[in-house]
């Protein structure tokens, strides 16, 4: 059932899957709102049940994809699921693109001062798509390669890096504004921040190099991070883990009120 | 772990039972949850946006691995409350979306929030915007949105990475009242530096219960507290047992650890 | 009084200019600050150094151009060490730009250390949905990965010889600005006891320390300073050391600004108290 298909069968399966998907979508659209929610909940429940049972049921040594591993009767289906799920999520990207097209087309048609941003969106999107397709063709021309380099390495990567570097400017001004010793807690916070910052840099480490080792700023910093910060973040993580379990359970069992799985 | 250990096989269903039992209890009688200051400020922020006649930005974060995730659904449920409150005052709320898979869920939730307040006509599909699923491009888009719209209030809930500060600082620069909540412990300090109120740790998962006062959610919070109490007891018992066993050279300590790891 | 107020309310644009100067100045000055190796970086180095020639390493390059400043030098340092040790490695990424960025570095270093793609290393390319992917991956690497990033079947490459499940991985290296390393701990390093090291960005260091402290990971290369320390251990060039000087200067500026603002605030309060609360 899960063996790769080649040649004509491959095309057949692709077309068949697409048709089945379209039919399913049309049927879902025709269902009344309430019935649609039941369908959604059933799919969610079955999906969750598969992973929960596979995880909790007792295991024994068995052959999975030709390799010896611990598993139960559901384990052989994990690898096919791994291959199927990314395909489903890939289709969702289309939803985003459609939304972007709809919104920016409306804005261009309305035409005002802000429409220029929407025009920029279309120009960038088309340029990136064309540039990528040309460069990834079997025999790319020198122009295509240069275009790809300019767009991806020259523009996209540099713009990404620029946005990340802006954080340095923002954190400097935010720290300057926020770290004021207005209370005992704020003073403790400030002192800790300065120790951790100094412990992070060579200059800070040099300052305390002459002191006994336990007073070295990097040693104090490590102590703060492992003995003060780590337990606190672990405690937060325990709370978050349980919180996540609770929300997961509510969604899985259909107990959550709200538009996605209302009862 | 690939499969549950004995400890996990016992404890996870036990915690789940606590949560489900308390949900059922909460449906029958009132349960108490403490005040969360940051969430109380949400109404104040909406009020301010209404007075100023400027929009609010409600962001549901980037998520952890992408797709429809619990952490983002939780953020959406808080945003849904914000939209319901703001709909009463006809205050505009813009919801930027990071993940295309979250777009239909977000649209549906926001539409329903307006409908529940009897204002389905206030729903504007243009205000639920998928921007991009590139981290820093999204940060730039949200920052631009905050600056262009001169947001009166920004709500940053959900999972964030390095872009958290870019959004929060831009909100600060336009003078927006800012409320943030994230389970991302690395981003909490940045939010504290740039926002007016920050919801930290598991308050994040308590937020929708606190806001909606919905019995299912309140029961779930109380169930979580019981589970956390159990974890605390196991940790304390474990520390004592393993310490004493190590001191006495008894194998009980190792057995206790193996209960959770094997 | 006016001066004290000014020191507390320095315009953010002035701060930006000061930061820019403090970051760029080290590029033009020949300052050489000594590099002290942290225990976390040393542990990262030791984990790779303990590998035998031919050992297979999973190299997860989960970063994009945005964090190149930190993750780039980390990738370069770790790959240099792997190539010097003649280890086999596979690049994988849950970020679209990750495989290309790591590929460029691996190709460049490969020429220097005679490490050939296909024979000594392979690029598995971009993958989606880390949690779901790794669940299947640990059980059947060839069945889940299938091809390299150029869609050529894995069987074709000598580097893949003997690699069937995650148990065949001798070390997992995660270079990341995100928490994908936690997913690796959950699905690969934890259950299959695959040794793991992490190179996070500086901002993530406090969080990653938890896993280092609990020995769930063997070592950590903390951000740019960590990459500088690693370069020192490898005795390669001093490019990163210069970047690390920029980080040092920027930290000093931040501390200076915070201290200045606070001193001005305290002095203003005192003056105000003396003059009977008239600010």
Q: Judge if C223 and C116 occupy the same domain.
A: yes
CA distance C227 to C167: 28
Token pair listed for A121: 């969106």
Q: Judge if B72 and B86 occupy the same domain.
A: yes
Domain membership flag for residue B194: yes
Measured in residues, chain B has a length of: 262
Domain membership flag for residue C259: yes
Residues 6+ apart with CB under 8 A from A60: A70, A71, A72
The two beta strands, C171-176 and C196-200, are: parallel
Q: Judge if C63 and C20 occupy the same domain.
A: no
CA end-to-end span of chain C, whole Å? 8
Whether B186 and chain C come into contact, CB under 8 Å, resolves to yes
For range A244-260, the mean pLDDT = 78
Q: Judge if C216 and C264 occupy the same domain.
A: no
* pLDDT at residue A207, rounded to an integer: 85
Q: Judge if C23 and C97 occupy the same domain.
A: no
Q: Judge if B46 and B165 occupy the same domain.
A: yes
Domain membership flag for residue B1: no
Across chain B, mean pLDDT equals 89
Domain membership flag for residue B24: yes
Token pair listed for C71: 């993750």
Contact A206, C34 (CB under 8 A): yes
Contact C123, C106 (CB under 8 A): yes
| Percent of chain A clearing pLDDT 70 (strictly above) | 95
Structural domain of C22: 2-32+243-274
Residues 6+ apart with CB under 8 A from A206: C33, C34
CA distance B47 to A52: 44
Interface contact A167-B105, CB threshold 8 A: no
Q: How far is CA A54 from CA A48, A51, C143, C263, in A?
A: 10, 5, 19, 61
pLDDT, greater one: B76 or A61: B76
Report the residue of A2, A54, A82 to disrupt the C interface, i.e. the one with the largest count of C CBs within 10 Å. Answer: A82
pLDDT, tens digit only, all 279 positions of chain C: 788 888 888 998 999 999 999 989 888 887 777 778 888 999 999 999 999 999 999 999 999 888 888 899 999 999 999 999 999 999 999 988 899 899 999 999 999 999 999 999 999 999 988 888 898 888 889 888 989 988 889 988 999 999 988 999 999 999 999 889 999 998 999 888 899 999 999 888 888 988 998 899 999 999 888 898 898 899 886 667 777 778 888 999 999 999 999 999 999 888 888 876 544
CA distance B160 to A22: 35
Q: How far is CA C36 from CA B199, C73, C241, in A?
A: 38, 17, 11
Q: Judge if B62 and B142 occupy the same domain.
A: yes
* pLDDT at residue C279, rounded to an integer: 46
Q: Judge if B183 and B257 occupy the same domain.
A: no
Q: Judge if B117 and B187 occupy the same domain.
A: yes
Backbone φ and ψ of B178, nearest 5°: -125, 130
Task: Give the chain C residue nearest A77 (alpha carbons).
Answer: C136
For range B198-227, the mean pLDDT = 86
* pLDDT at residue C276, rounded to an integer: 67
Identify the CA nearest to A42 among candidates A246, A244, A254, A247.
A254
Structural domain of B194: 37-213
Give the pLDDT confidence of A152-211 residue by residue, as tens digits. 888 888 888 888 888 889 989 988 988 888 888 888 888 998 998 888 887 888 888 888
Token pair listed for A233: 């973040």
Token pair listed for C274: 């003396």
Residue A258: which pLDDT band, with cuts at 50, 70 and 90?
Answer: low
Q: What CATH number does the domain containing C110 carry?
A: 3.40.50
Q: Judge if B165 and B123 occupy the same domain.
A: yes
Token pair listed for B199: 């919801």
Domain membership flag for residue B109: yes
Give the pLDDT confidence of B30-46 residue by residue, as tens digits. 888 887 878 888 999 99
Q: How many CB atoms lie within 10 A of CB A100?
A: 20
Residue located via tokens 């804005």: A107
Token pair listed for C140: 């059947």
The two beta strands, B177-182 and B153-159, are: parallel
State yes or no: pLDDT of B187 exceeds 80.
yes
Interface contact B133-A178, CB threshold 8 A: no
Q: What is the 3-state secondary structure (H, E, C) of B61-106?
A: ECCCCCCCCHHHHHHHHHHHHHHHHHHHCCCCEEEEECCCCHHHHH
The number of folded domains in chain B is: 2
A67, β-bridge pairs: A64
* pLDDT at residue B40, rounded to an integer: 83
Q: Judge if C117 and C11 occupy the same domain.
A: no
State yes or no: pLDDT of B170 exceeds 90.
yes
* pLDDT at residue A2, rounded to an integer: 65
* pLDDT at residue C90, rounded to an integer: 96
B157, β-bridge pairs: B181
CA distance A60 to A58: 7
State yes or no: pLDDT of A107 exceeds 80.
yes
Contact C198, C211 (CB under 8 A): yes
CA distance B171 to B163: 13
Whether B1 and chain C come into contact, CB under 8 Å, resolves to yes
Q: Judge if C149 and C11 occupy the same domain.
A: no
Domain membership flag for residue C62: yes
State yes or no: pLDDT of B129 exceeds 60.
yes
Q: Judge if B139 and B223 occupy the same domain.
A: no
Residues of chain C found within 8 Å of residue A93, distances taken between Cβ atoms: none
Q: Judge if C222 and C269 occupy the same domain.
A: no
Q: What CATH number does the domain containing B159 carry?
A: 3.40.50.720
Q: Judge if C169 and C262 occupy the same domain.
A: no
Residues 6+ apart with CB under 8 A from A143: A134
Identify the CA nearest to B241 among candidates B227, B231, B255, B220.
B255
CA distance C133 to C145: 9
Residue B261: which pLDDT band, with cuts at 50, 70 and 90?
Answer: confident
Interface contact B2-C206, CB threshold 8 A: no
Task: Give the chain A residue nearest B126 (alpha carbons).
Answer: A103
State yes or no: pLDDT of B62 exceeds 50.
yes
Domain membership flag for residue B121: yes
Q: Judge if C97 and C130 occupy the same domain.
A: yes
Q: Judge if B76 and B15 occupy the same domain.
A: no
* pLDDT at residue C277, rounded to an integer: 54
CA distance C69 to A6: 44
SS3 B186: coil
Q: Judge if C199 and C259 occupy the same domain.
A: no
SS3 B48: helix
Q: In a 10 Å sphere around its CB, with 0-12 CB exposed, 13-18 middle and 19+ buried, how is residue C144 labelled?
A: buried
Residues 6+ apart with CB under 8 A from C19: A168, A169, A172, C250, C253
Interface contact B220-A178, CB threshold 8 A: no
C196, β-bridge pairs: C172
Q: Judge if C26 and C79 occupy the same domain.
A: no
Interface contact A89-B201, CB threshold 8 A: no
Q: Judge if B169 and B111 occupy the same domain.
A: yes
For chain C, positions 46-75, list CB contacts with chain A under 8 A.
64-69
The two beta strands, A60-64 and A67-71, are: antiparallel
* pLDDT at residue A251, rounded to an integer: 84
Domain membership flag for residue C279: no
State yes or no: pLDDT of A259 exceeds 70.
no
Q: Judge if B157 and B238 occupy the same domain.
A: no
Contact C220, C43 (CB under 8 A): yes
Q: Judge if B202 and B244 occupy the same domain.
A: no
Domain membership flag for residue B106: yes
* pLDDT at residue A261, rounded to an integer: 46
The number of folded domains in chain C is: 2
Q: Count how many Cα atoms sit within 13 Å of the Cα of residue B60 in the half-sphere of its side chain.
A: 40
Domain membership flag for residue B123: yes
Contact B152, B178 (CB under 8 A): no
B159, β-bridge pairs: B61
Across chain A, mean pLDDT equals 84
Q: Judge if B48 and B132 occupy the same domain.
A: yes
SS3 C265: helix
Interface contact C69-A89, CB threshold 8 A: no
The two beta strands, C56-61 and A67-71, are: unpaired
Interface contact B193-A253, CB threshold 8 A: no
Q: Judge if C160 and C216 occupy the same domain.
A: yes
Interface contact B67-A89, CB threshold 8 A: yes
Q: Who among C68, C136, C254 is closest to A175 (CB)?
A: C254
Residues 6+ apart with CB under 8 A from A62: A68, A69, A70, A71, A75
Alpha-helix residue ranges (DSSP H) falling in chain C: 2-8, 12-28, 39-49, 68-84, 98-113, 130-137, 141-145, 180-184, 190-192, 205-213, 223-234, 239-274
Task: Give the chain B residue nearest A156 (alpha carbons).
Answer: B137
CA distance B131 to A151: 19
Tell me how far the alpha carbon of residue B13 is from its chain's centroid. 23
Residues 6+ apart with CB under 8 A from C88: C54, C55, C56, C57, C120, C121, C159
Residues of chain A found within 8 Å of residue C139, distances taken between Cβ atoms: 64-65, 67, 69, 71, 75, 78-79
Contact A28, A253 (CB under 8 A): no
Tell me how far the alpha carbon of residue C25 is from its chain's centroid. 24
Q: How far is CA B204 from CA B75, B177, B223, in A?
A: 8, 19, 16
Give the pLDDT confidence of A78-106 residue by residue, as tens digits. 878 877 777 777 777 777 788 788 888 98
How does C239-257 read in b/e, with b if 16+ C-beta sit within 10 Å? ebbbbbbbbbbbbbbbbeb
């Amino acid at each position: 059932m899960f063996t790769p298909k080649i040649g004509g069968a491959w095309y057949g399966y692709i077309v068949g899957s697409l048709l089945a998907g379209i039919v399913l979508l049309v049927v879902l659209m025709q269902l009344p709102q309430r019935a649609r929610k039941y369908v959604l909940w059933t799919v969610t429940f079955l999906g969750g049940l598969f992973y929960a049972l596979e995880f909790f049921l007792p295991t024994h040594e068995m052959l999975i994809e030709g390799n010896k591993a611990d598993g139960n009767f559901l384990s052989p289906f994990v690898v096919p699921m791994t291959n199927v799920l990314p395909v489903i999520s890939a289709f969702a990207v289309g939803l985003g693109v459609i939304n972007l097209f709809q919104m920016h087309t409306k804005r261009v048609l309305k035409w005002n001062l802000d429409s220029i941003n929407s025009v920029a969106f279309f120009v960038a999107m088309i340029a990136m798509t064309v540039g990528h397709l040309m460069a990834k063709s079997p025999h790319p021309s020198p122009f295509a390669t240069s275009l790809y380099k300019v767009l991806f390495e020259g523009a996209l990567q540099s713009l990404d890096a620029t946005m990340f570097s802006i954080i340095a400017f923002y954190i400097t001004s935010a720290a300057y504004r926020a770290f004021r010793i207005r209370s005992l807690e704020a003073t403790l916070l400030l002192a800790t921040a300065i120790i951790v910052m100094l412990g992070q840099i060579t200059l800070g480490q040099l300052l305390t190099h002459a002191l006994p080792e336990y007073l070295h700023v990097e040693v104090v910093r490590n102590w703060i991070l492992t003995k003060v910060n780590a337990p606190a973040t672990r405690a937060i993580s325990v709370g978050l883990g349980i919180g996540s379990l609770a929300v997961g359970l509510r969604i899985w069992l259909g107990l959550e009120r709200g538009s996605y799985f209302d009862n | 772990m690939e499969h549950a250990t004995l400890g996990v096989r016992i404890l996870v269903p036990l915690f789940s039972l606590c949560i489900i039992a308390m949900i059922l209890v909460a449906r029958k009688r009132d349960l108490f949850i403490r005040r969360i200051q940051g969430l109380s400020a949400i109404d104040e922020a909406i009020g301010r946006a209404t007075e100023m006649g400027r929009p609010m930005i409600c962001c549901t974060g980037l998520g952890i691995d992408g797709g429809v995730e619990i952490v983002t659904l939780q953020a959406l449920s808080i945003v849904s409350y914000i939209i319901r409150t703001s709909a009463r005052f006809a205050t505009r709320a813009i919801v930027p979306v990071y993940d295309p898979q979250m777009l239909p869920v977000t649209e549906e939730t926001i539409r329903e929030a307006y409908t529940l307040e009897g204002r389905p006509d206030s729903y504007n599909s243009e205000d639920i915007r998928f921007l991009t699923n590139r981290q820093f491009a999204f940060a730039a888009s949200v920052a631009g949105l905050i600056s262009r719209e001169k947001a009166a209030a920004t709500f940053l809930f959900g999972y964030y990475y390095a872009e958290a500060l870019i959004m929060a600082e831009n909100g600060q620069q336009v003078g927006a009242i800012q409320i943030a909540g994230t389970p991302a412990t690395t981003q909490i300090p940045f939010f504290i530096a740039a926002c007016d109120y920050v919801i930290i740790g598991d308050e994040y998962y308590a937020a929708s219960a606190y806001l909606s006062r919905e019995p299912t959610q309140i029961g779930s919070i109380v169930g979580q507290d019981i589970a956390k109490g159990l974890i605390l007891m196991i940790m304390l018992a474990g520390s004592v047992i393993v310490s004493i066993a190590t001191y006495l050279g008894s194998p009980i300590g190792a057995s206790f650890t193996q209960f959770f790891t094997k | 009084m006016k001066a004290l107020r000014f020191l507390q309310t320095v315009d953010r644009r002035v701060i930006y200019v000061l930061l820019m100067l403090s970051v760029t100045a080290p590029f033009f000055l020949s300052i050489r600050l000594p590099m002290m190796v942290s225990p976390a970086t040393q542990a990262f180095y030791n984990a790779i150094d303990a590998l035998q020639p031919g050992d297979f390493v999973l190299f997860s390059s989960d970063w994009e151009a945005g964090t190149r400043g930190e993750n780039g030098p980390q990738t370069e340092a770790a790959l240099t060490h792997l190539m010097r040790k003649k280890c086999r490695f596979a690049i994988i990424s849950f970020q679209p730009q990750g495989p290309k960025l790591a590929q460029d570095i691996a190709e460049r270093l490969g020429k220097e250390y005679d490490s050939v793609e296909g024979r000594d290393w392979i690029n598995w390319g971009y993958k989606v949905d880390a949690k779901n992917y790794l669940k299947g991956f640990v059980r059947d690497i060839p069945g889940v990965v299938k091809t390299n990033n150029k869609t050529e079947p894995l069987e074709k490459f000598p580097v893949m010889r003997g690699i069937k499940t995650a148990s065949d991985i001798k070390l997992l290296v995660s270079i990341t600005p995100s928490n994908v390393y936690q997913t690796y701990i959950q699905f690969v390093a934890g259950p299959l006891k695959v040794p793991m090291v992490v190179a996070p960005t500086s901002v993530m260091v406090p969080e990653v320390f938890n896993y280092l402290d609990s020995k769930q990971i063997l070592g950590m290369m903390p951000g740019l300073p960590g990459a500088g320390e690693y370069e020192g251990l490898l005795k390669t060039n001093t490019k990163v050391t210069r970047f690390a000087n920029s980080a040092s200067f920027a930290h000093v500026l931040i501390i200076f600004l915070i201290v200045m603002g606070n001193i001005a605030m305290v002095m203003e309060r005192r003056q105000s108290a003396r003059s009977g609360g008239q600010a």
